[in-house]
Structure formats: structure tokens, C-alpha cells
């Protein structure tokens, strides 16, 4: 569900977690199975968040190893991180450049798109 007090509030956003054969040594992948518009979600629904990045040092030097996947992470921690990401996108490291730009420059339009997506997940008409 979309986090309370955000433009995604009340939305029900189905997603799937895909666990690799060497889980928990490698992170699962997460992909929304509904339409999403968010700076940290690719257009095909794949989630781009530090906790789901391979363990170890970031080759780009953006994330610390402590922010990346560790075998001690839980599914609950992943889901909490994604809900937090919905509430507070990281527009500095975007998977969807258009969404990141709109988040920064035209929050009102971003919120309208999010509201349409929320209504769509609930099978409600959009005015």
C-alpha cells in the first residue's frame, strides 16, 4: 500500500520479488506489476533501491557497502525500504529520469500522475 500522507496514499501496488538461486547471498529483484511513475522505478516496474543492489562496494562510488544488500536483510526490511522510497524518492539516483525531473520541478503534476495511478489500482475512475 502507498504510504500515508503521500501522493501514493491508499494505492494498492502489486509487485513481485524474484529470489535468485543463491539467495540470501544475492539480493532478490523487485518489480511492480502495475503501472508506476516514480524516480526510483524503471518504466518496466523494476525497483532501483540500494538495499536490492549486489553486496560490496559500489563501482560508481555512490552507495556505501552498508547501504547495499546483505544476507541479514529480510523481506520485511525490503518492503519497508520500498514504502519509504515511495514516500521519499532519491531523485539524485533515478531509474526514471522523467519522473525525477518532474518530482523536482513540477511536484503538482507529479502528484496528479500519482493520484491517477492510485485510483487505477483501486479500479476507480479518474475525473
Long-range contact list for 31-38, CB < 8 A, 24+ apart? 34/117, 34/120, 34/121, 35/117, 35/120, 36/117, 37/96, 37/99, 37/110, 37/113, 37/114, 37/117, 38/85, 38/86, 38/89, 38/96, 38/99
Which residue of the set 7, 10, 34, 48 is catalytic? 48
Is 7 in the active site? no
Please report, for residues 53, 57, 94, 124, the alpha-carbon distance to residue 110 in angstroms, rounded to integers and kept in the order given. 26, 33, 15, 19
Catalytic residue ranges: 48
Amino acid at each position: 500500500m502507498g504510504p500515508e500522507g503521500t501522493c501514493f496514499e491508499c494505492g494498492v501496488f502489486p509487485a513481485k520479488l524474484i529470489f535468485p538461486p543463491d539467495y540470501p547471498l544475492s539480493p532478490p529483484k523487485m518489480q511492480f506489476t502495475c503501472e508506476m511513475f516514480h524516480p526510483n522505478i524503471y518504466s518496466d516496474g523494476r525497483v532501483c533501491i540500494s538495499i536490492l543492489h549486489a553486496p560490496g562496494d559500489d563501482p560508481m562510488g555512490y552507495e556505501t557497502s552498508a547501504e547495499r544488500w546483505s544476507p541479514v536483510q529480510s523481506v520485511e526490511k525490503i518492503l519497508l525500504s520500498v514504502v519509504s522510497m515511495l514516500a521519499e524518492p532519491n531523485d539524485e539516483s533515478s531509474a526514471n529520469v522523467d519522473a525525477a525531473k518532474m518530482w523536482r520541478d513540477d511536484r503538482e503534476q507529479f502528484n496528479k500522475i500519482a493520484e491517477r495511478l492510485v485510483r487505477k489500482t483501486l479500479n476507480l475512475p479518474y475525473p
